[in-house]
Amino acid sequence: MAFTTTIDARPHALGDLLLVTGTFTNDGGSGGGDIVLADQLGQIFAAGSNANAASAPVHTTEIDGTVTTTLTLVTGANVSGTWWALGKR
């Protein structure tokens, strides 16, 4: 398998900002993957990710960068967890 992600169906509105959350799983040997948020956000201002409790002692996750509406998540193999992104529609 490879890197997979889900986007929660109900984002949170904060004034004119939108907080989008989701989960990821990296079952394969890849180093992570992209989370495309073009349908939810027009611009990403901040983002983060966390490995779940079973993965956290061994692996960390990080957001490698954002390109307008895409997050690039870097993680080790066999790591799952959550991510979030804050931006404008």
User: pTM for the whole thing?
Assistant: 0.82
Structural domains for the chain: 3-88 (2.60.40.3940)
Give tens-digit pLDDT for 26-79.
887 777 888 999 999 999 998 988 888 666 556 667 777 667 889 888 887 788
- Is the separation of the CB atoms in 72 and 65 below 8 Å? yes
Report the alpha-carbon distance of residue 89 to residue 79 in Å, rounded. 30
Report the alpha-carbon distance of residue 76 to residue 89 in Å, rounded. 31
